[in-house]
Amino acid sequence: MLYLISSNQLPLHHISSGQLVNKDGFVHPKRSIDTFVLILVTQGSLFIKQNSNAFQICANQHILLFPGMQHSGIEPSNGRLSYYWCHFQIQQKNYQFVNQEVVNQQIYIIKNNVLATNDNYIIPETTNLFQSERVVMLYRQLLDIVKGRSYSAYFANYALSLLAMEISTVFVNSYDGGKQLHMNFRHIAEIMEWIRINHDYEVNVMRVAEEFNYNPDYLSSIFKKHVGCSLLKYINKTRIDMAKKLLISSHDSRQVIAEKAGFKDDKYFLKVFKRMEGVTPSQYKKAFHLKHMNKE
């Protein structure tokens, strides 16, 4: 895997961005372009190859496509696929693509030297972003800025740079130096997918533990270790993510949206939403009412 390292002292240059939504069978076109492309999958799986490396990018994962490298779809998506995309350039042109050994050294310095500051974007070719609820919000904010009227043409550049810094921060904070996880992450991913599919039913820690034959306390412990948040928080996060989508794509009342998202108690939904997002559902709806969407 390659990693992008570039100074963050100047903002990235935003070219274009939007959201792709496809019902089934999407295959990414084969091409080589002169810009970076940052893709964050929010639903389904994107099957894509960059040079000779093949990737399956699932929900809450990103892939960074590099300029001058050939990328193409390798098989059709199965079912609904949704992802955010952004084309950008790095203004100072002093970026580099490095291997894991170089990244190990960089992050070791950042984490072990209190005087060191991270003045670089450090973005892997692909990674999981389960630990950051802010990444999706910042991506949506970027699309809102691009779609709406801005007092400055540089507004999108700074919004994109903030998004890149957040991704870098999540990556650095969760980086383990290449150590192998003690639990098969694929199994964790299966649990996450099961929660996503069944979030609107009576899902709780006990129910998940029974489904996958785990002791509830042990499952909660290893889930937090590998994902970065408790199992209960992830269940609520999954429901809140669904509620956010409904808030900006439907005219349903708050009570109906809460029920569709899996919250049986509207007051509890309001409490959890405000705690996780920092705003009320109505404030969120007002803040993210503009989107740029394309079907294919």
Strands laid side by side in the 3-7 sheet: 96-98, 3-7, 120-124
Q: What is the mean pLDDT of the chain?
A: 84
Burial of residue 105 (number of CB atoms within 10 Å: 0-12, 13-18, 19+): exposed
Whether the CB-CB separation of 106 and 249 falls below 8 Å is answered with no
pLDDT by residue (tens digit) across 177-212? 544 434 445 577 688 888 888 888 878 899 999 988
pLDDT by residue (tens digit) across 12-26? 999 999 999 999 999
pTM above 0.75, yes or no: no
Whether the CB-CB separation of 86 and 16 falls below 8 Å is answered with yes
More confident of the two residues 92 and 279: 279
More confident of the two residues 243 and 192: 243
pLDDT by residue (tens digit) across 164-183? 999 998 888 877 654 443 44
Whether the CB-CB separation of 84 and 40 falls below 8 Å is answered with yes
- CATH topology identical between 3-174 and 185-294: no
Q: What is the pLDDT of residue 181?
A: 38
Most confident of 65-79, 120-134, 282-296: 65-79
For the chain, domain boundaries: 3-174, 185-294
When mean pLDDT is compared across 112-116, 198-202, 282-286, 289-293, the lowest value belongs to 112-116
Dihedral, CA of residue 198, residue 78, residue 18 and residue 195, to nearest 10:
20
Chain-centre distance of CA 117, in angstroms?
Answer: 24
What architecture is domain 3-174? Answer: Sandwich (2.60)
CATH number for the region 185-294 comes to 1.10.10.60
CB atoms closer than 10 angstroms to residue 9: 8
Separation of alpha carbons 180 and 91, rounded Å: 36
Q: Which residues contact 290 (CB under 8 A, 6 or more apart)?
A: 143, 144, 147, 148
